[in-house]
C-alpha cells in the first residue's frame, strides 16, 4: 500500500548502489540469517561459541553495535576495558570485546577491513545539533534506534554506553585530532564475532546523512549466526 | 606494641563518650575540611567565603558531591602521583551523564585539553575543563575494574590494598541512588595516554607535583571521583598519591566568555545547556 505522507523525506539508497549480500565468514550450521533495512535497529542473542557475521552489504555502512551479557544486562560492552586490555585504540582480528567487568564477551575472529572503530560512539538527534546545526534535529539517529531496541530487554538510556562502529573509519592523528573520514570498507566486506558468553547484540544500521560514515547512502546490513562445525 | 584497646577507657557509656569526643582535635592527611572556607589551604586568589568543598582524598579513596551550576572544581595532584578518575551527571536528571565518545568525537579531539567541553549524550555540555597546568589526562582507558586489579595486584576490594576504580565508583554512585548501570566510561586527570599511528596506547605519566586542572559546572552536577592508579601505569605496585579537591562558587561559561564561541560544536552545546536550564527557570 502506498500512502501520501507529509513526513519529511527519509533517505534511501541510490537505486544503482552495488549490493553484495555475501556469505558467513565462518562455515557451519546457519542459526539465523536476517537483513537489517537501512536506518533500522536489530538485536539478537549469540550463544557461546556461535559466530555472528555482519556483512556490509552496500559498503561503508556503519553498523553501530552494543553488546550485553544476555543473562545479566548490567554487564555490557566497555570501550575503555577493550582498549586497555589490548593496549591499542583500534579494533581488528583478535580484539577481545570486553565488558565493564573486564570479561571477554566476544572475540573478533575475522575482519576484512584494515581496522574497525570503537572511539566514535553513536550519532543522535541531540548530538547532531552540536555537530551540524539545529536544522538536523528532526533527523533520525542511532541513539533513537538503540533506545527502541533496548526497551525490548528492559533497558533504557542508562544502558547506552559508548559503542562499536563496524565499517566506520575514525583515525586518530598524532595531535589527538580524531573524526569520521571516508570509509575503507566495500560491498560484501565482513566482520565475524565469536561469542564468549551469551551475547545480546544490539545494532543500529546508522541513518546518519551528515558525514561519510555511511557514504551518504544508507544501505542494508546482513546478520548471520553460525554454529561452527561440519554441517549436520 | 601497645594494643589500641589499651589506649582507650571505654567500659562505661560516660567513658566511651568522653573517649570518642577526645578524638575531635586529631587530624589526618586525608580528610574533608569543614567548613570549606576554613581549610588549611585555600587556592590562591580565591575568596575564602566562596569555598564550598575542600578535601584531600586518600590514595585508593573516593569522594562525591552535588554542586551548583557555576561551581569551579579544582583537582590538584598534591605530590605528583594522584590520578583523579571522574564521572559527572546532570543532578536534575541523572540519566544524563558524561558521554566520553561524544566528548572526544564532537570537538574532534581525543585528548582532554584546556577548554575541552565534557559532553553528555543529550547534546549538552555538563562541564568545561579549564585552567589546566598538567596537560596529562586521558579519555580512552577509563578506570580500573576488579578483574584488572586482580590480575595486576591480586587485590581489588574497595577497602583493600588495591581498590579498583570501578569498586569505588559503585560506592559513590550508590550514595546518590545510582547503580552499576549508571557507570559509563570515565575520564582521568594527571596521567596521560597518547595514541601511536598503529593505535598503540602510550602511557606518558604525570606532569609532577602541584599540577592542577579545573572543571566548571555548566549545570547542577553530581560529581564522582576515585583516586586510583591509571590502568596503564607501568609500575607493578599500587602507587597513587593524595588528591586535593577544592571547589568554590563561580560563574558558568556564558556569552561574555571567549570559550562560549571558541568552537562551533561547543558553542551549540552551551546553547543547548542554556536552553535546557532556561526552560525550567534555572538560567
Q: Chain B contacts of A83, Cβ < 8 Å?
A: 140-141, 201
Chain B's closest residue to A73, CA to CA, is B181
Using the Cβ of A135 and the Cβ atoms of chain B, whether some distance falls under 8 Å is answered with no
Of A101, A126, A159, the CB nearest to B146: A101
Of A74, A101, A127, the CB nearest to B145: A101
Model confidence at A231, pLDDT cuts 50, 70, 90, reads: low
Of A83, A130, A180, the CB nearest to B201: A83
Q: Which of B95, B103, B121 to mutate to test the interface with A (most CBs of A within 10 A)?
A: B121
C-alpha span between A219 and A230 (Å, rounded): 32
Q: Chain A contacts of B124, Cβ < 8 Å?
A: 126
User: Residue B259 has what pLDDT?
Assistant: 95
Please count the other Cβ atoms lying within 10 Å of the Cβ belonging to residue B258: 8
User: Residue B199 has what pLDDT?
Assistant: 97
Name the residue with cell 573486564: A102
SS3 state at A196: coil
Q: Where are the domains of chain B?
A: 62-279
Chain A's closest residue to B109, CA to CA, is A177
A 138-197 near B (Cβ less than 8 A): 143, 156-163, 170, 172, 174-180
- On the question of pLDDT at B1 being above 80, the answer is no
Interface contact flag, A130 B123, Cβ < 8 Å? yes
Interface contact flag, A176 B199, Cβ < 8 Å? no
- On the question of pLDDT at A230 being above 70, the answer is no
A 69-98 near B (Cβ less than 8 A): 73-74, 78-81, 83-85, 87-90
Interface contact flag, B166 A124, Cβ < 8 Å? no
User: Residue B33 has what pLDDT?
Assistant: 97
User: Residue B86 has what pLDDT?
Assistant: 98
The mean pLDDT value of chain B amounts to 97
Of B101, B232, B268, the CB nearest to A162: B101
CA distances from B173 to A183, B71, B162, B183 (A): 39, 20, 19, 8
Of B111, B124, B265, the CB nearest to A176: B111
Task: Work out the percent of chain B whose per-residue pLDDT is above 90.
Answer: 96
Interface contact flag, B123 A127, Cβ < 8 Å? yes
Interface contact flag, A89 B140, Cβ < 8 Å? yes
Model confidence at B2, pLDDT cuts 50, 70, 90, reads: confident
The alpha carbon dihedral of A27, A88, B84, B104 has a sign of negative
Q: Are strands A189-195 and B72-77 parallel, antiparallel or unpaired?
A: unpaired
Q: Chain A contacts of B93, Cβ < 8 Å?
A: none
Interface contact flag, B123 A128, Cβ < 8 Å? yes
In the predicted model, what is the mean pLDDT of residues B84-89? 98
Of A102, A161, A172, the CB nearest to B145: A102
User: Residue A12 has what pLDDT?
Assistant: 86
Host H or E run for residue A225: strand A221-228
pLDDT tens, residue by residue, A76-132: 999 999 999 999 999 999 999 999 999 999 999 999 999 999 999 999 999 999 999
Please count the other Cβ atoms lying within 10 Å of the Cβ belonging to residue B234: 7
Q: Chain A contacts of B201, Cβ < 8 Å?
A: 83-84, 87-89
pLDDT tens, residue by residue, B198-249: 999 999 999 999 999 999 999 999 999 999 999 999 999 999 999 999 999 9
Of B141, B179, B272, the CB nearest to A84: B141
Please count the other Cβ atoms lying within 10 Å of the Cβ belonging to residue B16: 13
pLDDT tens, residue by residue, A42-55: 999 999 999 999 99
Instruction: Take residue A82 and report the three cell numbers written for it.
Output: 577493550
B 145-164 near A (Cβ less than 8 A): 145-148
Model confidence at A20, pLDDT cuts 50, 70, 90, reads: very high
Instruction: Take residue A190 and report the three cell numbers written for it.
Output: 565482513
pLDDT tens, residue by residue, B22-44: 998 899 999 999 999 999 999 99
pLDDT tens, residue by residue, B146-205: 999 999 999 999 999 999 999 999 999 999 999 999 999 999 999 999 999 999 999 999
pTM for the full model? 0.96
User: Residue A229 has what pLDDT?
Assistant: 81
The mean pLDDT value of chain A amounts to 96
The interface pTM score, or ipTM, of the predicted complex is 0.94
Q: Are A31 and A224 a contacting pair, CB within 8 Å?
A: no
pLDDT tens, residue by residue, B57-78: 999 999 999 999 999 999 999 9
Q: Map A2-64 to HEC letters.
A: CCCCCCCCCCCCCCCCCCCCCCCCCCEEEEEEEEECCCCEEEEEECCCCEEEEEECCCCCCEE
Model confidence at B283, pLDDT cuts 50, 70, 90, reads: confident
Chain B's closest residue to A84, CA to CA, is B141
Instruction: Take residue A16 and report the three cell numbers written for it.
Output: 544503482
Amino acid at each position: 500500500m502506498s500512502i501520501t505522507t507529509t513526513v519529511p523525506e527519509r533517505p534511501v539508497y541510490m537505486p544503482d548502489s552495488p549490493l553484495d549480500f555475501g556469505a558467513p565468514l565462518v562455515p557451519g550450521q546457519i542459526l539465523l540469517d536476517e537483513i537489517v533495512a537501512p536506518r533500522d535497529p536489530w538485536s539478537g542473542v549469540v550463544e557461546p561459541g556461535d559466530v555472528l557475521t555482519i556483512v556490509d552489504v552496500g559498503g561503508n555502512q556503519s553498523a553501530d553495535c552494543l553488546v550485553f551479557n544476555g543473562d545479566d544486562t548490567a554487564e555490557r560492552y566497555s570501550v575503555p576495558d577493550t582498549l586497555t586490555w589490548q593496549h591499542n585504540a583500534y579494533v581488528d582480528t583478535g580484539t577481545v570485546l570486553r565488558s565493564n567487568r573486564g570479561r571477554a564477551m566476544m572475540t573478533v575472529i575475522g575482519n576484512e577491513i584494515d581496522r574497525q572503530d570503537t572511539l566514535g560512539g553513536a550519532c543522535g538527534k541531540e548530538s547532531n545539533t552540536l555537530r551540524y546545526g539545529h536544522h538536523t534535529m528532526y533527523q533520525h539517529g542511532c541513539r533513537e534506534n538503540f533506545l527502541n531496541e533496548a526497551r525490548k530487554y528492559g533497558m533504557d538510556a542508562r544502558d547506552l554506553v559508548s559503542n562499536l562502529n563496524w565499517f566506520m573509519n575514525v583515525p586518530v592523528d598524532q595531535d589527538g585530532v580524531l573524526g569520521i573520514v571516508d570509509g575503507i570498507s566495500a560491498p560484501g566486506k565482513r566482520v565475524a564475532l565469536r561469542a564468549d558468553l551469551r551475547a545480546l547484540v544490539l545494532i543500529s544500521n546508522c541513518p546518519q546523512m551528515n558525514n561519510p560514515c555511511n557514504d551518504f547512502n544508507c544501505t542494508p546490513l546482513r546478520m548471520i549466526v553460525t554454529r561452527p562445525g561440519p554441517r549436520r | 606494641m601497645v594494643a589500641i584497646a589499651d589506649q582507650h577507657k571505654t567500659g562505661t557509656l560516660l567513658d566511651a563518650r568522653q573517649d570518642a569526643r577526645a578524638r575531635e582535635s586529631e587530624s589526618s592527611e586525608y580528610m574533608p575540611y569543614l567548613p570549606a572556607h576554613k581549610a588549611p589551604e585555600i587556592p590562591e586568589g580565591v575568596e575564602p567565603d566562596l569555598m564550598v568543598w575542600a578535601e584531600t582524598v586518600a590514595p585508593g579513596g573516593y569522594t562525591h558531591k552535588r554542586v551548583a551550576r557555576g561551581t569551579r572544581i579544582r583537582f590538584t595532584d598534591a605530590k605528583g602521583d594522584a590520578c583523579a578518575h571522574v564521572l559527572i551527571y546532570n543532578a536534575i536528571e541523572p540519566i544524563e551523564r558524561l558521554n566520553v565518545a561524544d566528548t572526544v568525537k564532537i570537538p574532534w579531539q581525543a585528548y582532554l585539553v584546556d577548554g575541552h567541553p565534557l559532553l553528555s549524550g543529550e547534546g549538552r555540555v555538563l562541564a568545561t575543563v579549564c585552567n589546566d597546568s598538567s596537560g596529562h589526562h586521558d579519555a580512552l582507558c577509563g578506570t580500573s575494574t576488579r578483574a584488572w586489579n586482580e590480575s595486576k595486584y591480586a587485590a581489588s576490594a574497595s577497602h583493600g590494598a588495591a581498590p579498583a576504580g570501578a569498586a569505588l565508583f559503585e560506592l559513590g554512585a550508590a550514595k546518590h541512588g545510582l547503580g552499576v548501570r549508571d557507570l559509563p566510561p570515565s575520564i582521568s586527570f594527571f596521567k596521560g595516554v597518547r595514541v601511536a599511528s598503529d593505535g598503540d596506547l602510550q602511557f606518558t605519566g604525570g606532569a609532577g607535583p602541584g599540577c592542577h586542572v579545573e572543571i566548571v559546572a555548566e549545570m547542577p552536577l553530581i560529581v564522582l571521583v576515585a583516586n586510583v592508579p591509571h590502568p596503564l601505569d607501568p609500575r607493578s605496585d599500587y602507587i597513587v598519591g593524595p588528591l586535593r579537591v577544592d571547589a568554590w562558587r563561580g560563574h558558568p561559561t556564558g556569552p561574555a566568555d571567549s570559550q562560549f564561541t571558541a568552537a562551533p560544536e561547543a558553542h551549540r552545546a552551551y546553547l543547548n545547556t542554556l536552553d535546557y536550564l532556561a526552560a525550567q527557570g534555572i538560567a
